[in-house]
Amino acid sequence: MSKEKKKSPFSIYWIYAALGFALIAFQLYVSSDSVATIKSRETFFNLVENKGVRNVRIINQVKADFYLSAKGKALVKQAKKGELVEIKKALSKNGPVKNKEIKFELENIGSHANFEEELKEKGYRNFQNVNEVNYLGQILSYILPFALIIIIWMFVMRRMSGGGGGGGGSQIFNIGKSRAQVYDKGKSTNITFADVAGLAGAKEEIVEIVEFLKNPKKYTELGAKIPKGALLVGPPGTGKTLLAKAVAGEAKVPFFSLSGSDFVEMFVGVGASRVRDLFKQAKEKAPAIIFIDEIDAIGRARGKNNGFNSNDERENTLNQLLTEMDGFGTNSGVIILAATNRSDVLDSALMRAGRFDRQIYVDMPDLNERKEIFQVHLKPLKLGKDIVVDFLAKQTPGFSGADIANMCNEAALIAARGNKKQVEKQDFLDAVDRIIGGLEKKNKIITKDEKKTIAYHEAGHATISWLLEYAHPLVKVTIVPRGQSLGAAWYLPEERSITTTEQILDEMCSALGGRAAEQLIFGRISTGALSDLEKVTKQAYAMVSIYGLNERIGNVSFYDSQGRDSFTKPYSDDLARVIDEEASKMIEFQYKRALKILADNKDKLSALAEKLLETEVIFKEDLEIIFGKREWEIAELVEIKEIPIKEKKPRKTLVKSSKTLTNNETKDILPKGKI
């Protein structure tokens, strides 16, 4: 591995500075004789008339200089007003210095002929006419403009080439250079694998790659080859970039880090040039690791909309990347890590073995992983005695690592806002409410009728979710406005791997409970159910056209995981009409079901709404007082038992008995992975 050249402390600007100081010093030395200027011709000729001057010289017929005679000095000493007083001050300042006399200078003599004539009239004829040439001044007058132009030109060139600051690739003459941030020996991130909580499977594979670079003999003795690359795939905030930072902190090899957008530029050929330069640098420092964050910026599938971009710069960049990763050239010792949350749009050539050998899926953390993440983010906080990590992990299903970090920070801010010395349990609960629902707006103006409508709306949600078997368990209901919502209900979904038809239908019914309560109590409906209707509509269409959960449509799915049919529908107009009918029929059935359930429990619904109007916030315990405890018990998890292959017996595949939708499926009905 080649050693990085140390930057020399010497700069050409030191030469410029030295020359400037030398010129200034020379000028000071040349003009070191004391010179005093006389502005008035009258003062000069007054001294001439009184025999007060000597050694008068007329220089270049423009100015004159002279010295004072003894009589002139006496006149000056006696002066009490006029310009002679200024001369007196000059004499007193210079007197004892080096025993030198002051040379006086008359700047403007006017007409040369008249000046000589007047001198003769005043009785002074021993003057001299002298022609002086300032060779230094003339030289400088010729040299300085050119020198200034050269200095400015060199400065601009250095700036444009990246020498004057900024990134090397951000300047015009270095535009084709790689913009990667290099973590070499002696330079690394402050993040290690110990800072990466959870992600056990992903971390294991990444650690193996780092270990291969540190100790290649362990693998090469068995004939194994180093993987070309690893692709980290997963939802935003799950820790893909953090994992790469940990690799940079742990690996004792050069680490090149950059984003996919760093290759993209308005100039043609720049992206491909930067790819070549990146791999050139990595090969020189091999073994090395290259990390490309958000690789979907340049790795999108080629051939789409080719008519619009016949010479797409992104495609050229991708082609060069594919060539560098697995071309005729040698890439020994260079490993590529990449991260994306859009693996469905990546080019198939990029995903094949030999380029990205491993695709590591970084999923949302489960309960145990959330515990580990909380333990990492709780370390810097001053915690109260009532903080239990298990409780916090159970309260945050569907939270990513970034969400948990934000929650911990938000809890600390809430505690500081309340002038507390420690972060308490209630601060974390308030932080969850703040993240999910938004900021409380207690000063929002709401009429009594509106408040009553909101109370019954939220009570409708709470009632149906409590009475249905597969609906999410309720945690909290409030009619205090938060964010864009006038009221909100918090549920604690159980973490499940699969979702049944009954679960989705119960969720739809629960979501329509708010509008059904308005219809039942007031005989009218409002626009407050917008988000509920949006959610229900997505669920209905997903059941019919994606999951194959409709008897009339059958076991078909029109979900396009590759996103290639965005402009055309993969079914006929007649089938589209049927899909619309079935989705609408499903929604209306669940709405009527919600109306019936609420009508059967109208007294309890009213009691819950009145409680809401009284306290503005109710919890699970309040519902237990009104409705009693739920009949449904959560089924326990069943462990997978592995049967040895030699016994040739079928495996037990039952993992969990699903009761509720997962939190991810509540947020986004489209599947995140394959079942």
CA angle 548, 553, 558 (to 5 degrees): 55
Question: Going by C-beta distance under 8 Å and a sequence separation of 6 or more, which residues neighbour residue 381?
Answer: 408, 411, 412, 423
Q: What are the strands, taking DSSP E only, across 450-502? A: 474-478, 488-491
Which among 503, 445, 452, 480 has a CA at the least distance from the CA of 658? 503
Cis peptide upstream of residue 287 (ω within 30 degrees of 0): yes
Q: Does residue 458 have an active-site annotation?
A: yes
Distance of CA 105 to the CA centre of its chain: 68
Cα 446 from Cα 90, distance rounded (Å): 86
Kindly state the tokens that stand for 324. Answer: 């560098």
Cβ neighbours around 178 below 10 Å, total: 25
SS3 133: coil
Backbone angles phi, psi at 211, to 5 degrees: -65, -35
Cα 436 from Cα 336, distance rounded (Å): 37
* 258 beta partners: 292
Please report where in the chains the tokens 């409906």 appear, as a residue.
525
Please give the single-letter amino acid code of residue 275: V
Give the active site residue among 324, 458, 507, 518: 458
SS3 518: helix
Cα 456 from Cα 427, distance rounded (Å): 28
Burial of residue 155 (number of CB atoms within 10 Å: 0-12, 13-18, 19+):
middle
- Pairing of β 488-491 and β 474-478: antiparallel
Query: Alpha helix (H) ranges present in 232-366?
Result: 240-250, 270-284, 313-325, 348-351
Q: Which helix (H) or strand (E) holds 125?
A: none
Please report where in the chains the tokens 């549920």 appear, as a residue.
491
Tally of residues, the chain = 675
**666 and 511 in contact (C-beta within 8 Å)?**
no
Burial of residue 186 (number of CB atoms within 10 Å: 0-12, 13-18, 19+):
exposed
Backbone angles phi, psi at 202, to 5 degrees: -65, -40
Residues serving a catalytic function are 458
